[in-house]
Amino acid sequence: MSDYAIETNKLTKKYHGFSAVDQLDLQVRTGAVFGFLGPNGAGKTTTINMLLGIIHPSGGSATILKHPAGDKTALKKVGFLPEKIGFQSFLTGVEFLTALGKLSGMGGDSLHTRVKEALDFTGLGERGSDRIGSYSRGMQQRLGLAQALLHQPDLIILDEPTSALDPIGRREVRDVILYLKRQGCTIFLNSHLLSEIEKTCDEVAILKAGKVIEAGGMEDLLAARNAAYIEVEDMNEKALAELRKLTFKLRMEEMPPRKFTAYFNSPNQTPEIARALVENGVKLKALIPRKESLEDLFVRVVEGEDNTPDT
C-alpha cells in the first residue's frame, strides 16, 4: 500500500454544471509538509471540505490516512484550522480548548496537560485564562492553531494559518510546523504567503480552475527553470526577437525595454543570451543569473508560459 496521507483520484465537485474541482489527482506523502496553492477560486477550500467530508464529491474518490474521505476513524486523527474560525467570545482560551478536547474524547489530567501544552506551544500560555473576546485577531489565529494540534493528530490541515499574524507570529507558526514535521506529523498547508510556503514545504501542488497544473518536490520544481536579470542599452527589435527565441518568458521591468527578467530552460543558455544581445548591437550592462522563486513559479504557471513580454 502506498504511503500517502492524502490521495485523490479524479476528485470532482460540480455546482450547477460548473466544476469547482475538476478530476483532481493529488498525492501527499506521509510525514511531508505539503503546500496547496492556487489563485482565489481555484478550488482549494472545496477540495479541503471534500477531504474532511464536509461536502460530498460529484465524482472520483479520495482517501485520508488510508480511509475514505470523511471517515470518522480517520477524522479522529486529523487536526483542522479553517481560514475563518468561529469562537465563543465569552469563553476563555482554556475553556474553549477543554470543550473541544472533550468532544474529541479526551478527558482527565491528560486533557488538562494537553490544553496547557497547546497554549504554551502557540504563545498563549499567559493568556489562557482570559476571555477570547479580549484576544486580538492574531491571538485568535494562534488559538485556532492550538485547537488543531490539541489531540496530537497524525495529519494537520491548515487553511491560511498565518493570515492574521505579524512577521514574528509567522515565524513562530513556521517553527511550530517544522517541529510537528520532526514529530512525524503530516502538514497540509494552504496559504497565499508564498515566501512562507517556500521556507516550510517539502512539496507543493498548484491548482488552477480545479486542476493541478504543477506539482512536485520544492527543490525540483525551483531547479527546473533558470532566470536572469538583464540590463541593457540600445535595445532593438532584432535583438529582442533573438532574446525571445532563447527564453520562454520575458518580464519587462522598465519601459522602454532596458531591464528584463528572462526565464529559460538551461543554464547553458546564459552565454547564448549574452552573445545574441551583443552581436545585435546591444550594450549589455548586467546579466545576473538567479534562482526562480516560488512566487516566480506560481505566477508563471498560473498565467501560462509564453514569450510575450509583460508590459
pLDDT band at 264 (very low <50, low <70, confident <90, very high): confident
pLDDT tens, position by position, 152-176: 999 999 998 887 788 888 888 888 8
> Hey, what domains does the chain have and what are their CATH numbers?
4-217 (3.40.50.300), 225-303 (3.30.70.980)
**Interhelix angle for 167-182 vs 137-149, to 10°?**
0
- Collapsing DSSP states into helix, strand and coil, what is residue 254? coil
pLDDT tens, position by position, 191-247: 888 988 999 999 999 999 999 999 999 988 887 667 888 999 989 999 999 998 998
- Predicted local confidence at residue 217, as pLDDT: 93
pLDDT band at 2 (very low <50, low <70, confident <90, very high): low
* AA letter at 147: Q
The whole-angstrom separation of Cα 249 and Cα 305 is 7
Q: Output DSSP code: residue 131.
A: B
pLDDT tens, position by position, 33-46: 999 999 988 999 99
The whole-angstrom separation of Cα 236 and Cα 125 is 63
pLDDT band at 71 (very low <50, low <70, confident <90, very high): very high
- Predicted local confidence at residue 309, as pLDDT: 40
- Predicted local confidence at residue 13, as pLDDT: 96
User: How is the beta sheet containing 283-291 ordered, strand by strand?
Assistant: 249-252, 259-264, 226-233, 283-291
Average model confidence (pLDDT) across the chain: 89
pLDDT higher than 50, residue 1:
no
* AA letter at 162: T
Spatial contact of 142 and 164, defined as CB atoms under 8 Å apart: no
- Predicted local confidence at residue 305, as pLDDT: 56
Section 4-25 average pLDDT: 94
Phi, psi of 10 (to 5 degrees): 55, 40
pLDDT tens, position by position, 119-157: 999 999 999 999 999 999 889 989 999 999 999 999 999
Look up residue 22 and give its three cell numbers. Answer: 475538476
pLDDT band at 306 (very low <50, low <70, confident <90, very high): very low
- Predicted local confidence at residue 307, as pLDDT: 42
The whole-angstrom separation of Cα 297 and Cα 281 is 32
Look up residue 186 and give its three cell numbers. Answer: 503530516
- Predicted local confidence at residue 117, as pLDDT: 95
- Indicate the range of 133-137, 254-258, 278-282 predicted with least confidence: 254-258
The whole-angstrom separation of Cα 47 and Cα 287 is 42
For residue 162, give the H/E element and its range: none
Please count the other Cβ atoms lying within 10 Å of the Cβ belonging to residue 124. 21
